[in-house]
Structure 1
Amino acid sequence: MTTHNNSRTTALGILALALLSPNAEAENRPRVLEEVVVTAQKSQQSLQDVPISISALSGDFMQDNAIGDLVAVSAYVPNVRVEFTSPSSPQVFIRGFGTNSFNPSFEPAVGLVQDEVFYGRPSYFSESMYDLARVEVLRGPQGTLFGKNTIAGVFNVSSQTVPAEEDSEGKLSYRDEEYGEQRLEAGVGYRFSPSLGLRLSAMKWQRDGRLENTKLERKEDDRDQDALRAKLNWQPSDRSELEFIAQQSVTRVNFWPRQLMKLDDDTRDYLQTFDPEIEDDPFNFQTSFNEDGKLYQRSDSVALRGSYDFGEVGGLSRLDSTVVVGLSWLDVEQRQDLDVSPADLLNLNEVDDYSQQSVEWRFSGAAESLFGLGGNVEFISGLYYFNSDFRIVADVIVGQDIASYALTKDAQQLLGGNSNAPGNPLAGTLATLLPQLTSTLQESDYYRFDYRQNTEATALFGQVSWDLSEKWVLTPGLRLNHETKKSTPTGEGKCSNPLLPCITATLIGGQDYAPGQIDRSETQLSPKLTLSYFLNEDISFYTSVSRGFKSGGVNAISFTGEQLEFEPEKASSIELGLRSQWLDNSLQLNMTAYRMDFNDLQVLAFNGLLFDVTNAAAAFSEGVETELQWLTPYTPLSINASLGYLRARYKEYENGPAPISDGIGAKQDLSGETLAFAPQFTATISPTLEYQLGSLLLRAAMNIQHQGEHYTDTDLDENTRIPDTTTVAANLTLRSDEQGWALTVGGKNLSDERSLNQVIDTAMFPSTYNPSQNPGRSVFASMSYQW
């Protein structure tokens, strides 16, 4: 009996080893890394041939790892930081440089391009990413080919294409996660004939809130997103192609997901009268504020891309022409509690309307040499036109509890010290207003910002890639950009009693102003020069120098109407890069060392209520970005890893903002200090195991992500410092075939690391802070079917 059991155990062990081990044929077949094709230079190229610091994530990788937005994408990319506390004001940083978009005057320093269309407002970054082929992250100034406001880099997003063959293909997936999160995504393509094809995509993403609001007894950060996309592809001839894209995205969010931190005894005693459960633990997913905030964001976009292949023309072996036309409309409506407390003190109602139109007409071609000199020459050149209209109407509204607040020590602190500094939003004498404050407040008492802006930009650009010899390639490029802005900022106190001062305006120190239309005109050059050396087919080096800029503008949310304009940012960059493949193309190692210098860096400084716009003098960033892909000698195991080192400092910033605890309007010398949102180290390592189980494929993956400590506010208040954070995620997938069903179970932040995403000052309560908390541990399961 014992012998029989031993034999059966041995047989089962042998069978298990056979199933979980690669077969002999697979062992003998050399494994090579698949080529990654990108469009970082507006043409299809192997990533290994592109002399840019670039990372690329495939749509399949994003789906396998439950990545649904650019925040999650950024965790896999060295020296990139994305924050979406407010979907309408995302903050995107590359190499320590980016834009705090809480003030809508600022345009993004990192560009967003989707399906060859540039989108000019930061709100587009929080649109849903679905049915994607690839996301490329380009680090460093990209103005030569992508234009203005790409001074720190570009997110280049490509959605799935229409099938090339006369057949149908598609993918349907559903994911269920903790916090009531559900994501349904579908993409179906069909080519009716060799000349006509269609792809339809849709996404439904819903999540229950993660923060318990003890005042309103509801969950905050509840999110509901719906998106649709249609692509129609028509090839009337072998030389021509037209593609039409229409898409819509709608987002609804309970607003906003912030908590309180560092309550002093006086503030706690005061707020407990409105909510006995008030507390200041920033790591417990609990908050308390009285305004039932909401955010609604909708975008509608259409694009038309047409291309024609002229073939051989004159001395050119190839000449192509492409036209890309894009139209988009963006609407944002939001209501939020500015003081983030259970007391009804200050609220904000805001409506944004934005529209843009763009046209790019470019030519690309190739020749066997440059007038008989050197080898192959490839070029791209074109014209670009961009026009946008933006309007924001924002009302700051005083609440019913302002009278009791006027008697608190917080109010006295805000009125003392530097409370009368220019631009101080609380520079009134509340004591003189007590008779008014104790009377019934009218909803008609508020302070209104009404801002309009028209932007028109035209550009001429070109880039040439010239093979000087078999090993040396020279790539010069230049873009000439001219931009005009017509801005009309106004600020006005509104109230029902003309005989008394408006309460809200007096409280926040708001003054009436209407300077009329402010015209700005800027002409900028964005040059680039790259020299590449190909040691052999597997190893190459490149060095590049480039310059970029981000346009200046006018402050959309000013309380006084003073110092409304801010100047453009300018940056210069130098890079030295390595592209390499080793071990018969089973190991790929790419590295880039860089230095970036910025002048007139645009920053926001907290003023006790909102954020003032200003220019810092100068800053720099230097570091290294490394990415590795390895198909190890153990056939089932592959490893992806990345490492970013970043040192970002102000060179000069003598009048930088000081922590609000030093007094409203206080200054400090930040020269030599670090930039916010610039962790020194970021790293990921993702080992993956794949085993063949008969006709099934078993895949186990782990993702370890590390982010170094960094500050999240310009004033470098120690309370806004985020310590080192390391999280672990894992997933297990069972797949029937490359074309078939797949079942995945996984978890994020498996160690339940409690960490903060951002910490900023709280309006109305000096030395109290508003943190936003990163998600805790969550598990998910997903099912997909692909054909």
Structure 2
Amino acid sequence: MIIKKTKTILATTMTSAMLLPSAVLGKEDGRRVLEEVIVTAQKRAQSLQEIPMSVSAISGDMATDAAIVDTTDLVQYTPNVKFTAANPAYSSTSIRGFGTPPLAQNLEPSVGLVIDGVSYGRSTFTNDAVFDLERLEVLRGPQGTLFGKNTVAGVLNFTTAAPSFDLSGYINVAEESLDGKRYEAALGFPIIDDVLAARISWRKRDKSFGLYNTTRNNEEEQFKDESMRLKLDWFPFEGGEINLLAFKSDFESVGNGMQHSHITPSGFQVYREADPQTEDDEFNNTRATNAPTFTSRFSEAIALKMSVDTGDNWVFRNASLTAIASRAQVDTPYLLDSDFGPVNALSLETDGPDRYKQEQFELRYTADSDVLFGWGDSVDWVIGMFVGESHATVTQFARQNLTGLAQLAPLIAEGRGVPNAGAAEVAALNALIGAVPNGEQDVFAVNYVRVFAESYALFAQADWHLSSSLTTSLGIRLGKETKDGANGSFANTPVPALVAGQENFDNEGSKKEYEVSPKLAVSWSPSDELTVFGNIAKGFKSGGYSG
């Protein structure tokens, strides 16, 4: 199935809107004052009150004080934002109700994700940023001009803690419910004074849910999560800076935390033939499933950023040139006991790890200049180009055991309200069992989707300061994206076609789409405590391929 592109135009207008960032209130001459919050919502350091859009900022200190350990906790402090994660392989962010369903793995998100200046094309990278955090910025509304495609709802812009030339660090150890233990540590240190500094961060979480599986005779409900990050800041000459970022994460979860409840008498009869200890007390931490359910996630990324102050050039002043090259990959293998019982009947798993890989390069020029046409005070400029490519593979290996399905047939019939306890279904399945060769009671169907995408874009934004209190922002992004996709399905026997309507097919296609994402914003600050702004922006989300 080919999913067509969608274009979203959203207008955001806020009047008499006070920007109240998540910052600590200080005191000045006995009066409470709001500390200035510096953000990078427009790809350069600015005060939060200068940004003509709806932005929330959360500091890393606040996240630490609130004992926040993942994105689900973090977004509780940001209005209109929701992060959904059934497990690390299936996650999704929505802002103001706009998002992409977490099970639509091979469709790109509607909320952009940026970590230390690098965009990531899947929401499953989000939790890689939620430790040793300096700041999270939530940008609401389309952000296509500066951040590109797939930001029709907004952007989560993470900044992690930077290296320092002063020796610093911390160690946090916490104990959680369900025998959970959490460790987090970071160390920043100089390597060459005033020239090279590093920061190493590490996080580990272990938790056991204490669910005993009587069918498999083990206590399998648990997860382990470990991440490590390395950052290097190098200042080889005056006005020059090179930053290296690398991280790696390893998440492994066994089980799904589910227990049976309200099993019917016929259900007990069928289940206890497979496992005599099957019960439906949902509070005794016992379950009965036969397949080794698990979810894993392995991610890694590396990014190199170089910035050079180029001074005054032509009409531009205080100019800086920034280049960012990055590569990232995430694998998410899983296996699910999809009949959720002790009978060996159904399971779903990846046919090899689901994988997403991206490579990107961005070149950006920032500067300020004299005013246009002699109107106003000055103009701030951001001009850049972007090149990126990505590879994505998603598979689903659906296994059916015919003998197990025959055992479950009475329950399936009971659930559908079919009389005679599923005698017809049992007879049909027994006929299928007799039709397949001996030793091939396991039949399967595999669905797959593969996508290769290339993206190119030019972008520019000018913030025209008409006066000390009035600013107009004009921006545009011109992009082109090509996607080559393939999807299909195949089975080892005709049984999936007879039982579930499966069809063997292979489908290939190519899509070419063009992006035009303009932006117009006006910001007025009649006083230091009040900013009134309005903006009109257009976001772009390309089409794709779904299984």
Q: For the superposition of Structure 1 and Structure 2, which TM-score range results when normalised by the shorter chain?
A: 0.7 to 0.9
Tell me, yes or no, if the aligned pair for 1:220 and 1:255 is still in contact at 8 Å: yes
Q: Which residue of 2 aligns with 1:311?
A: 311
Measure, in 1, the Cα distance between the counterparts of 2:462 and 2:281. 58
Question: What CA deviation, in whole Å up to 9, does each residue of 1:88-136 have, x standing for no partner?
Answer: 0112221111111213222211111111111112321343621111111
Q: Which residue of 433, 436, 439 corresponds with 1:437?
A: 433
- Equivalent residue for 2:545, pick from 524, 538, 554: 554
d(CA) in 2 for partners of 1:382, 1:375: 24
Secondary structure of 2:77's match? coil
CA distance, structure 1, for counterparts of residue 42 and residue 470 of structure 2: 19
8 Å contact from structure 2 (residues 53, 534) kept in 1:
no
Tell me which moved more, 119-128 or 476-485.
119-128
1:528: which partner in 2? 519
Matched, 1:465 2:463: yes
Distance 1:368 1:214, change over 3 A: farther
CA 1:461/1:211 → structure 2, altered by over 3 Å: closer, same or farther? farther
Conservation of the 8 A alpha-carbon contact between 2:400 and 2:442: no
Which position in structure 2 is the counterpart of 1:250? 250
Q: Comparing 256-265 with 99-108, which one deviates more in the overlay?
A: 256-265
Whether 1:104 aligns to 2:95 is no
Rounded to whole Å, the distance in 1 between the matches of 2:397 and 2:31 is 65
Letter paired with 1:178: S
| Residues 303, 469 of structure 1: alpha-carbon distance in 2 compared, 3 angstrom cutoff | same
Does 2:405 match 1:402? yes
Distance 1:286 1:534, change over 3 A: farther
Matches for 1:314-333 after TM superposition, within 5 Å: 314-333=314-333
2-structure distance, mates of 1:359, 1:182: 39
Q: Confirm or deny: 8 A CA contact 2:324 2:362 kept in the other structure.
A: yes
Partner of 2:490: 492
The answer for the alignment partner of 2:337 in structure 1 is 337
- Does the aligned pair in 1 maintain the 2:85–2:102 contact within 8 Å? no
Deviation by residue 1:578-626 (Cα, 9 ceiling, x = unmatched): xxxxxxxxxxxxxxxxxxxxxxxxxxxxxxxxxxxxxxxxxxxxxxxxx
User: Are positions 1:189 and 2:188 aligned together?
Assistant: yes
- Aligned partners of 2:266, 2:95: CA distance in 1, in Å? 40
How far apart in 1 are the matches of 2:67 and 2:107?
A: 31
> What is the 5 A alignment of 1:666-745?
none
1:372 aligns with 2:374: yes
| Structure 2 CA distance for partners of 1:259 and 1:45, relative to 1, 3 Å | farther
Amino acid at match of 1:553: G
Would the aligned equivalents of 1:446 and 1:505 in 2 still touch at CA under 8 Å? no
Give the match for residue 357 of structure 1.
359
Q: 1:229: how far off?
A: 1.2
Distance, in Å, in 2 between the alignment partners of 1:62 and 1:327 is 28
Distance 1:522 1:75, change over 3 A: same
Query: Shift of the alpha carbon at 1:52?
Result: 1.8
Counterpart secondary structure, 1:335: strand
The 5 A counterparts of 1:508-523 are 508-515=500-507, 517-523=508-514
Equivalent residue number for residue 119 of structure 2 = 118
- Cα distance in 2 between the residues matched to 1:151 and 1:530: 16
Q: Distance in 2 between matches of 1:534 and 1:262?
A: 61
Partner of 1:137: 138
Following superposition, the deviation at residue 265 of structure 1 comes to 6.4
Over 3 Å counting, the alpha-carbon distance change for 1:266 and 1:443 in structure 2 is: closer
Could you tell me how far apart the structure 1 residues matched to 2:126 and 2:267 are?
A: 36
How far apart are 1:257 and its partner, in Å? 3.3
CA contact (8 A) 1:397 1:504 kept: no
For the residues of structure 2 that align with 1:152 and 1:280, how far apart are their CA atoms? 43
Show structure 2 runs of 5+ residues with no match: 1-26
Contact between 1:299 and 1:328, CA under 8 Å: does it hold in 2? yes
Q: Which residue of the partner structure matches residue 57 of structure 1?
A: 58
Residues 417-444 of structure 1 deviation map (CA, whole Å, 9 limit, x = unaligned): xxxxxxxxxxx98753322337866376
1:632-643 correspondence to structure 2 within 5 Å: none
Change in CA separation of 1:37 and 1:219 when aligned onto 2, cut-off 3 Å: farther
- Aligned residue for 1:535, secondary structure, equals strand
Alignment of 1:228 onto 2:231: no
State the SS of the aligned residue for 2:298.
Answer: strand
Aligned to 2:393: 391
Give the Cα–Cα distance (whole angstroms) in 1 for the partners of residues 480 and 113 of structure 2: 20
Query: Counterparts of 2:405 and 2:215 in 1: how far apart (Å)?
Result: 18
Q: TM-score, normalised by structure 1?
A: 0.61
Give the CA deviation at 1:370.
1.9
Q: Distance in 1 between matches of 2:413 and 2:395?
A: 29
The alpha carbon displacement at 1:79 in A equals 1.3
Deviations 1:624-681 (A, max 9, x none): xxxxxxxxxxxxxxxxxxxxxxxxxxxxxxxxxxxxxxxxxxxxxxxxxxxxxxxxxx
Deviation at 1:368, TM superposition (A): 3.1
Cα distance change of structure 1 residues 233 and 524 upon mapping to structure 2, 3 Å threshold: same
More divergent stretch after superposition (392-401 vs 179-188): 392-401
Given that 1:447 and 1:505 are in contact with CA atoms closer than 8 Å, whether structure 2 keeps it comes out as: no
The Cα of 1:70 is off from its aligned counterpart by 0.5
Say if 2:210 and 2:219, in contact at 8 Å, map to a contact too.
yes
Equivalence map 1:167-206=2 (5 Å): 167-191=166-190, 192-206=192-206
State yes or no: 1:450 paired with 2:465: no
* Secondary structure, aligned partner of 1:319: strand
Q: Compared with structure 1, are the counterparts of its residues 470 and 261 closer, same or farther at alpha carbon in structure 2 (3 Å cutoff)?
A: farther
Cα gap change, 1:88 to 1:234, in 2 (>3 Å): same
**Per-residue deviation at 1:210?**
6.0
Q: Distance in 2 between matches of 1:450 and 1:414?
A: 34
Amino acid at match of 2:153: A
Structure with more relative contact order (C-alpha pairs < 8 Å, separation 6 or more): 2
- Secondary structure (helix, strand or coil) at the match of 1:228 reads strand
Change (3 A) 1:475 1:396: same
Tell me by how many angstroms 1:179 deviates.
1.3
